[in-house]
């Protein structure tokens, strides 16, 4: 494998678009939640591990999450990453109560904006918000984008078991659409009602549970009709679209059958008719955690080469050899440049 370098020697810059951080104040809030008797079981599985395990992997993630300086930059250099698009880690503010979530979203955005101002050529930020208070979330997104220079919004999937398909959250969609920024719908642990049998099998986390829950969330948003109300809204999904591209045929068939038979009050006819039309026109997909050419090619073929982007998933999954594997994909040079660089530049308005 040739040595990885930043600077575009291979014909493109590498822009990693789903990279995580957590300010120490958020870590301390998570510690307090973990100490409670009624702690959410999925959260306990996720953050109980990363904050308290003595394993080398957990400790490295814990340390790197909190760094927005020297160690992160050195890791980027060692992996040939020119720029990170950074968001607060899942579950972000969304495990907190409403008032704490509101205050934390402002702190997160201030902290991330400072880091981006210190390293404007290496870091780009996504705005945090607290969906627990939709009106504040919309205002905070406005502040983070207009005043702090954030180029997208992160939502770490459900908020206390509630989904953005609920119109009470739509001020968030309205703000994102009006500001012309995408929403990165990032996983967190499945809610209490879903996580039980997954936990028992050790499948609640990034291995599978995250993808199932986040893919489900994205589908709920589509079938709710939210995109008919906010037609310009763009949502980014990591992990190869949480497998939704692979599901498209069956989603279209069964959604159509469900609508025609009037089986569910929730499931109404959609303006674009097919679920897949929304996946193709209102979604971007990143390959975070999936350094696998066949899956990337399938998404490019089905969703479009202009809608599939590179992401690493630092610091949770960041082996340098994955960068080499993706560099070696047998894609035309212009498509590889779209994947690693220009799609991100367009979506996050970097160039
Ligand atoms: Mn991630």
Instruction: Tell me the pLDDT tens digit for each residue of 157-181.
Output: 999 999 999 999 999 999 999 999 9
- 138 occurs within a structural domain: yes
CA of 22 to the centre of ligand 1 (A): 12
Region 113-129: what's the mean pLDDT? 98
What is the extent of the structural domain holding 246? 15-345
Residue 267 CA to residue 262 CA, distance in Å, equals 8
- What average pLDDT does the chain have? 97
Domain annotation covers residue 209? yes
Percentage with pLDDT > 70 across the chain: 99
Q: Show which residues are catalytic.
A: 313
Q: Is the pLDDT of residue 114 over 90?
A: yes
Band of residue 351 on the pLDDT scale cut at 50, 70, 90:
confident
Q: Is residue 4 part of a domain?
A: no
Number of domains, the chain: 1
Would you say residue 184 has pLDDT above 70? yes
350 located within any domain? no
Question: Cα of 207 to ligand 1 centre, how many Å?
Answer: 12
Cα atoms in the 13 Å half-sphere on the side-chain side of 248: 16
* Span 276-310, pLDDT tens digits: 999 999 999 999 999 999 999 999 999 999 999 99
79-110 pLDDT, tens digit per residue, is 999 999 999 999 999 999 999 999 999 999 99
Show the tokens assigned to 171.
């001020």
Q: Give residue-wise pLDDT tens across range 215-269.
A: 999 999 999 999 999 999 999 999 999 999 999 999 999 999 999 999 999 999 9
- Ligand 1 centroid to residue 50 C-alpha, Å: 14
For residue 162, report the phi and psi dihedrals to the nearest 5 degrees. -110, 150
pLDDT of residue 1: 63
pLDDT at 3: 84
Q: Is residue 6 part of a domain?
A: no
CATH number of the structural domain spanning residue 235: 3.20.20.140
| Secondary structure, 3-state, 58-105 | HHHHHHHHCCCCHHHHHHHHHHCCCEEEEEECCCCCCCCCHHHHHHHH
- In terms of Cα–Cα distance, which of 224, 222, 218, 223 is closest to 241? 218
342 CA distance to ligand 1 middle (Å)? 21
Q: For residue 249, what pLDDT is reported?
A: 98
- Whether residue 38 lies inside any domain: the answer is yes
Give 15's strand partners: 83
How much distance in Å is there from the Cα of 242 to the middle of ligand 1? 12
Is pLDDT of 2 > 70?
Answer: no
Domain assignment present for 148? yes
Centre of ligand 1 to C-alpha 89, Å, is 7
In a domain, 5, yes or no: no
């Amino acid at each position: 494998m040739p040595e990885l370098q930043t600077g575009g020697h291979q014909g493109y810059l590498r822009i990693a678009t789903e990279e995580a951080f957590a300010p120490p104040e958020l870590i301390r809030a998570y510690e307090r939640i973990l100490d409670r008797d009624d702690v959410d079981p999925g959260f306990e599985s996720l953050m109980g591990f990363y904050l308290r395990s003595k394993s080398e992997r957990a400790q490295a993630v814990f340390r790197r999450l909190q760094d927005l300086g020297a160690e992160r930059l050195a890791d980027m250099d060692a992996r040939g990453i020119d720029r990170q698009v950074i968001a607060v880690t899942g579950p972000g503010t969304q495990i907190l109560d409403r008032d704490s979530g509101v205050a934390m979203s402002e702190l997160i955005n201030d902290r991330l904006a400072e880091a981006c101002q210190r390293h404007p050529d290496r870091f780009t930020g996504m705005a945090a918000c607290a969906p627990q208070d939709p009106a504040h979330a919309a205002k905070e997104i406005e502040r983070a984008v207009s005043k702090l220079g954030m180029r997208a919004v992160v939502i770490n999937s459900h908020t206390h078991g509630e989904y953005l398909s609920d119109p009470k959250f739509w001020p968030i969609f309205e703000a994102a659409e009006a500001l012309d920024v995408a929403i990165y719908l990032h996983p967190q642990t499945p809610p209490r009602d879903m996580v039980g049998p997954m936990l028992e099998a050790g499948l609640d986390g990034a291995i599978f549970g995250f993808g199932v829950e986040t893919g489900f969330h994205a589908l709920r948003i589509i079938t709710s009709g939210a995109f008919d109300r906010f037609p310009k809204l763009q949502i980014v999904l990591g992990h190869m679209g949480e497998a939704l591209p692979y599901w498209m045929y069956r989603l279209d068939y069964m959604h159509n059958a469900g609508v025609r038979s009037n089986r569910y009050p929730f499931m109404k006819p959609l303006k674009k008719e097919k679920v897949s039309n929304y996946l193709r026109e209102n979604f971007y997909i990143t390959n975070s955690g999936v350094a696998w050419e066949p899956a990337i090619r399938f998404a490019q073929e089905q969703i479009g080469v202009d809608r599939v982007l590179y992401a690493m998933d630092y610091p949770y999954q960041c082996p340098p050899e994955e960068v080499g594997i993706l560099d070696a994909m047998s894609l035309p040079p212009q498509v590889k440049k779209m994947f690693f660089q220009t799609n991100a530049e367009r979506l996050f308005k970097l160039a």
